[in-house]
Amino acid sequence: MNSCKIAVVGATGAVGQVFLDIAEQRNFPIDEIRLCASTRSVGKKIKFKSQDIAVELCTPEVLDEVDFAFISASGEVSREIAPLAAKHGTVAIDDSSAFRMDNDVPLVVPEVNAEDLNEHKGIVAIPNCSTTPLVMVLNPLMKKSSVRRVVVDTFQSVTGTGAAALTEMKHQSEAILNDGPVTAKEYPHQIAFNVLPHIEPFQENGYTREEMKMLYETQKILHDSNILVSATCVRVPVAVSHSEAIHIEFEDSISPNEVTEMLENEPGIRVVDDPFSDVYPMPIDAAGGDEVLVGRIRKDISHPNGIAMWVVCDNLRKGAALNAIQIAEEMMKRDVVSERNWRK
């Protein structure tokens, strides 16, 4: 399959807009594109490759005419549209959490587990935007030694919530700097000049749903239910890019130099690590880029087999839109897009 017809569901959202940018930048082979969103956006014109394309509703007729439906919307929307797409023989690549833990739905980061795409049944899920960089660094290191435990603290930008959260942060910042009143709608508290150790609802065990996602998704993607992940997910007043402080406990001892060498040879990863020259990954450096940046690689002094590192990536690109496009590219390469190749 050399080219395809696609529908972008959620085309007016932050991830949808980045998706269109990346598709144009990578010259993703599109024969026809349909841009879909909610009723309030119908008729709005969006420019793609110098064409003004009108937004429409995602109807069964639209799904019947495309090869891929890229869905970046709420879980509720995904649960409605993704099965409908599969029913019409269209592959749904879904960015929500709706299908991630479904046993019949592959959860894929192409650099890590592309082979899982061979088993899809019409729906492919994209991991949480904090899980993706974590599994990308764990995967090559596991070839050297088994991973017993991971402790990860995430520092997640407001665009992980959406465009409205970014606007609210800007308005709050302006209000604070001008001694004005601050209102919070997108989060329980103000996000400007603040950090919130609270992403998604809290569970009975004291962790948030976001933190539990990182455990379960990591185990599924890496096909290893023995890996233990303890996460603390924090919302920070950053526009774009998620950062992670990762501490890994291995079965055997592994040196920082070995870690660096393995990660330098891994596609999609760039090591940025010269701390004595003030060189390390930062959100402003990752924003707009496609690579996962890794630095501060060092021995964890609290454990003989431990390694610590600092990881940053653009949550809208590799954390979402880019991963979706890479999945489609890999599926076309493997010739598993056509309904006759997956409908059983």
Q: What is the set of active-site residues? A: 129, 242
Q: Which two tokens stand for residue 22?
A: 């990346």
Nearest CA to 322 out of 286, 290, 293 is that of: 290
In angstroms and rounded to an integer, the radius of gyration of the C-alpha atoms of the chain is 20
d(CA 304, CA 138): 18
Nearest CA to 4 out of 36, 42, 33, 24 is that of: 33
Yes or no: say if 283 and 129 are a contact pair by the CB < 8 Å rule: no
Q: How many CB atoms lie within 10 A of CB 341?
A: 14
Which residues have a Cβ under 8 Å from the Cβ of 137 and sit 6 or more positions away? 246, 263, 269, 292, 294, 309, 311
Residue appearing with tokens 């998620």: 242
